[in-house]
Structure 1
Amino acid sequence: MNMDVTVPLHGKVALITGGTSGIGLETARVLARNGADIAINGFGSADEIEEIRTSIGATTGRRVEHFAHDLSDYGQASRLVADALAKCEAVDILVNCAGVQHVCDIERFSDDAWNRLIAVNLSAAFATIRSAWPGMKTRGWGRIINVASTLAMRAENQKSAYVASKHGILGLTREIALEGAPLGITCNAICPSWVLTPLVRQQVEAKAKELGLSFEETARTAFLRDLPTRRFVETAEVAATMLFLCSNAAKSVTGAAIPVDGASTVR
């Protein structure tokens, strides 16, 4: 499914956390096809990372660098932008896509699980935004996109840390939008519903095992039943929204929480 819109991003560098799989990887491909050089952060084997770098580079002609910083470590998260700048000279577009999940009722939710989830989903975004800010301010142009969730606007059982982190991302987005408004820097949040990323696939598989159902039946009855479209959102649809937000056509779109959710939040 090709969701490309012609948005020339030549001369721009996009740093994408969580860029080695799912929404982040598709975003890297779309932004590169539209002219941006790419810095991706994320996990994977050396062979997997090299395949991503070479495939995006070969199909787009753009430069692709990889950074393996562990965003659950605040020190590494804080160094990510500086290390990207050392290789890429600029970070014009920052996409905070890295995320983790832990499903558990509150009385059994461990400190370690809470701290890791808040670190990756929220604190790392603060660290990367703060580090990228001076360069964007100097250039008078910047695009910051935080991947939130429909759970930035509501709650769901057994996801206390995830819901808290995504509500936090939405608040951070709005604050950064205010600070960036006179500087030519926009900051927006994208709020997808169920996207069949590796993270969501793990949740479906765990639920299928619990219910004794097939993957397809579990997805249909436990995950997609509240989506009017009755299908998973595609990574290409989210990436296309990212592309629009990076364009000059979106220079007055800032502080927004944009649902890409199959109408699931309008009920």
Structure 2
Amino acid sequence: MNRCVVVTGSTSGIGLAIATAFAQAGDNVFINGFGKPGEIKRIKDHLETTSKARAYYHDADMTKPAEVADLIETAVNTFGTVDVLVNNAGIQHVEKLEDFPVQKWDQILAINLSSAFHTMRAAIPAMKERGKGRVINIASAHGLVASPFKAAYVAAKHGILGLTKTAALELAEFGITVNAICPGYVLTPLVEKQIPDTARARGITEAQVISDVMLKSQPTKKFVAVEEIAATALFLASDDARQITGTHISIDGGWTAA
């Protein structure tokens, strides 16, 4: 399809799966995230050798608005616009509210919520000029319901859904859709890192975290696959989804059905 697709937080996990899916569909991708130079090169080479797409990397720190804006500006300068913007960057920290480190609160809000504002603010003018665009925000089941010990993450993901709805209303007449995907538990590096932290916070074993905390919430008793989220992102970026805007799609094994 040869669009320009920017995916934040895309050097691993959900973001990498989304970038890979778009590349395999023929779209050029800008990836962003943590990683050593050799690993970043391996990812870029893999994206290009397994597709007809061009892959670029931008090392923007999602806590720094100027760097976030430069990511979008670089993509626009390269391809003339950003056709699809996927805000996926996110981190997590598990701790009781009264012991939650202030620095972690600020960092999670900056990366999980504010960075999406900054990318959208920078990308929207070029989208408006072309009269089309897709914004897909990766939220979470925690954008709809809460869990203990995740105050910053839950607050940020609820905020992402509010931002999604507001932007969708503002952009509805410009051919630009804005939607969110709300995954349940996906076994990504971010989630794997939560397991020992949650075990410590709750005073249980890591095996109990998986069975009694994470998968207990999902009636299917299975982790969501990153490929399932990527497929949903592809659909939301397609012409078939042009009348879907301002909403969310839950991929959570039934977690939020109750």
Query: What's the TM-score, normalizing by structure 2?
Result: 0.95
Letter in 2 for 1:43: F
What residue is the counterpart of 1:135 in the other structure?
A: 126
Pick closer, same or farther for the CA change 1:209–1:153 going to 2, 3 Å. closer
* Deviation for aligned residue 1:153: 1.1
Q: Is the 8 A contact 1:190 1:257 kept in 2?
A: yes
Q: Is the 8 A contact 2:2 2:53 kept in 1?
A: no
Letter in 2 for 1:195: V
What residue is the counterpart of 1:67 in the other structure?
A: 58
| Among 26, 34, 57, the residue aligned to 2:48 | 57
Unaligned runs of 5+ in 1: 1-9
Residues 148-184 of structure 1: CA distance to partner in whole angstroms, max 9, x if unpaired?
A: 1111111111111111111110000001111111100
| Among 70, 91, 97, the residue aligned to 2:82 | 91
What residue is the counterpart of 1:151 in the other structure?
A: 142
Q: Is the 8 A contact 1:78 1:124 kept in 2?
A: no
* Deviation for aligned residue 1:217: 5.0
1:242 alignment partner, SS class? helix
Pick closer, same or farther for the CA change 1:111–1:212 going to 2, 3 Å. closer
| Among 21, 31, 47, the residue aligned to 1:40 | 31
Residues 106-161 of structure 1: CA distance to partner in whole angstroms, max 9, x if unpaired?
A: 21222211111111011110010010001111111100000111111111111111
Q: Is the 8 A contact 2:84 2:237 kept in 1?
A: yes
Q: Is the 8 A contact 1:67 1:84 kept in 2?
A: no
Q: Is the 8 A contact 1:98 1:121 kept in 2?
A: yes
Q: Is the 8 A contact 1:122 1:168 kept in 2?
A: yes
| Among 155, 161, 166, the residue aligned to 2:157 | 166
What residue is the counterpart of 2:91 in the other structure?
A: 100
- C-alpha separation between the residues in 1 aligned to 2:69 and 2:30? 15
Q: Is the 8 A contact 1:91 1:132 kept in 2?
A: yes
| Among 227, 235, 239, the residue aligned to 2:226 | 235
1:240 alignment partner, SS class? helix
* Deviation for aligned residue 1:212: 6.5
1:186 alignment partner, SS class? strand
- C-alpha separation between the residues in 1 aligned to 2:207 and 2:94? 20
Letter in 2 for 1:29: T
Among all aligned residue pairs of Structure 1 and Structure 2, give the percentage whose two residues are the same amino acid: 43
Residues 26-80 of structure 1: CA distance to partner in whole angstroms, max 9, x if unpaired?
A: 0011111111100011110111101110011001021000001110122222322
Instruction: Give the aligned length.
Output: 257
2:220 alignment partner, SS class? coil
Query: 1:102-117 residue pairs with structure 2 within 5 A?
Result: 102-117=93-108
Q: Is the 8 A contact 1:149 1:192 kept in 2?
A: yes
| Among 9, 17, 22, the residue aligned to 1:31 | 22
| Among 229, 236, 248, the residue aligned to 1:245 | 236
| Among 48, 70, 84, the residue aligned to 1:79 | 70
Query: What's the TM-score, normalizing by structure 1?
Result: 0.92
* Deviation for aligned residue 1:88: 3.6
- C-alpha separation between the residues in 2 aligned to 1:257 and 1:212? 33
Unaligned runs of 5+ in 2: none
- C-alpha separation between the residues in 1 aligned to 2:105 and 2:195? 21
Q: Does 2:102 align with 1:121?
A: no
- C-alpha separation between the residues in 2 aligned to 1:109 and 1:205? 16
